[in-house]
Amino acid sequence: MSRRVVNFSAGPAVLPLPVLEQVRDEVLDWHGSGMSVMEMSHRGREFESILAQAEADLRALMGIPANYRVLFLQGGATLQFAMVPANLMPATGRADYVHTGEWAKKAIAEAGRYGAVRVAASSAGSDFRCVPPRTTWNLDPDAAYVHITTNETIGGVEYHWVPDTGPVPLVADMSSHILSRPMDVSAYGLIYAGAQKNIGPAGLTLVIVRDDLIGRAPSSTPTLLDYKAMADGGSMLNTPPTFAVYVAGLVFRWLLEQGGLSAIERHNRAKAALLYGVIDASGGFYTNPVEPSDRSLMNIPFRLRDDALDGPFLKSAAAEGLVQLKGHRSVGGMRASVYNAMPMAGVEALAGFMQVFARRHG
Ligand SMILES: *Cc1c(COP(=O)(O)O)cnc(C)c1O
The amino acid present at 195, given as its one-letter code, is: A
Q: Is the CB of 194 under 6 A from ligand 1?
A: yes
Q: Which residue stretches of 35-75 are H helix?
A: 45-62
Residue 346 CB contacts under 8 Å (≥ 6 apart), including other chains:
6, 7, 8, 322, 338
CA-nearest residue, atom 12 of ligand 1:
175
The per-residue pLDDT for 2 is: 67
Q: Which of 197, 173, 323, 344 is nearest to 258 (CA)?
A: 344
Helix (H, G, I), strand (E, B) or coil at 119: strand
CA distance 164 to 126: 23
CA-nearest residue, atom 7 of ligand 1:
76
146-149 sheet: strands from edge to edge = 68-73, 205-210, 190-194, 170-173, 146-149, 94-99, 116-122
Give the pLDDT confidence of 105-141 residue by residue, as tens digits: 999 999 999 999 999 999 999 999 999 999 999 999 9
- Judged against a pLDDT cut of 80, whether residue 174 lies above it is answered with yes
The rounded Å distance from CA 151 to ligand 1 centre is 10
The amino acid present at 100, given as its one-letter code, is: T
Helix (H, G, I), strand (E, B) or coil at 322: strand
In contact, 14 and 340? CB cutoff 8 Å: no
Q: Using pLDDT thresholds of 50, 70 and 90, give the confidence band for residue 217.
A: very high
- Judged against a pLDDT cut of 60, whether residue 69 lies above it is answered with yes
The rounded Å distance from CA 27 to ligand 1 centre is 28
The rounded Å distance from CA 77 to ligand 1 centre is 5
Q: Which of 112, 91, 115 is nearest to 168 (CA)?
A: 91
The amino acid present at 308, given as its one-letter code, is: A
Query: 60 vs 178, 182, 232, CA distance in Å?
Result: 14, 11, 22
- Judged against a pLDDT cut of 60, whether residue 95 lies above it is answered with yes
